[in-house]
Amino acid sequence: MTKLPLALLGGALLLASLLSAQSIDNNPSCVQDEEGVFILAEKMPGYSKGEKELFMDLLSHDFWPEMDLSCWFHKVQIHFVVAPDGQVSDLQVELAGQVECSDEARLSELKGELHQKLLKSLQQMGPWIPGECDGVRVPVRVKFPLHVHLSFR
């Protein structure tokens, strides 16, 4: 079986979907989801070392599972909540874009392995700068894509 080493290119932080969202106190800059977590804040959370370092730090952690020609994907969406104290929680990983896999069990295994490694990586990165609404720190859900570029050996 041919193994495919992976390289990662990061993108900018993206806002989560505004479906089922409501602004608070007539402030359109502060929008909460149905769980009370903000998906839009006046001041969005940020990585304490900056956006460029965010992706460099993610790249420095070897968290990509090995994929082969029978089971691979191009894009991963990462969602997590940055709490008012800057701690990261509620990590969710979604495979997006083109997903090719004839073995559902293997795909589930890859996703689980990726989730565990991303969680460990995010925890090692330390606290984030929390989001704010009306000058108050609030929990904010952030979402960003990771693009997987496959190379053959």
pLDDT digits (tens, 9 = 90+) for 68-93: 666 777 788 889 999 999 999 999 98
Long-range Cβ pairs for the range 52-56 (8 Å, 24+): 54/10, 54/125, 55/8, 55/9, 55/10
The chain-wide mean pLDDT, for the chain, equals 76
pTM of the model: 0.73
